[in-house]
Amino acid sequence: MANQVHFKDTGTPKSWAKESQNGAGKILSAPGAGKSAVICDIMASAETTISTATGGGGTIIMYCPAGHSNLRSPIDCGENTNVWSSAGNVTITYYIKDNNRGL
């Protein structure tokens, strides 16, 4: 079961999850219409490019060096997009944001 994290500014709990990919490939599938993945932290065995298409193509979301990148400000990957890694073994911590939900 995913951890529940309370955001005191919105009063809305968010479910956190993690996904891993060995080598280059898709880390996350598109979450569906009106939703986007928000990356909070990344661990990588080698430098990699996180993007919306295979091999670092499409929109580049971020460059990630080898090691652990704990993001101070989470990165929204865009609505209904896949998330790919160009190299290395990668694990990300993320949550799915529902863009259709008003605050």
pLDDT tier at 1 (50, 70, 90 boundaries)?
A: very low
Both tokens assigned to 69: 């990148």
Q: pTM for the full model?
A: 0.78
Write the pLDDT tens digit of every residue in 57-101: 899 999 999 999 888 889 999 999 999 999 879 999 999 988 877
**56 DSSP assignment:** G
Look up tokens 């073994």; give the residue. 89
Q: Judge contact between 61 and 50, C-beta under 8 A.
A: yes
Percent of the chain with pLDDT over 70: 83
**What are the beta bridge partners of residue 6?**
13
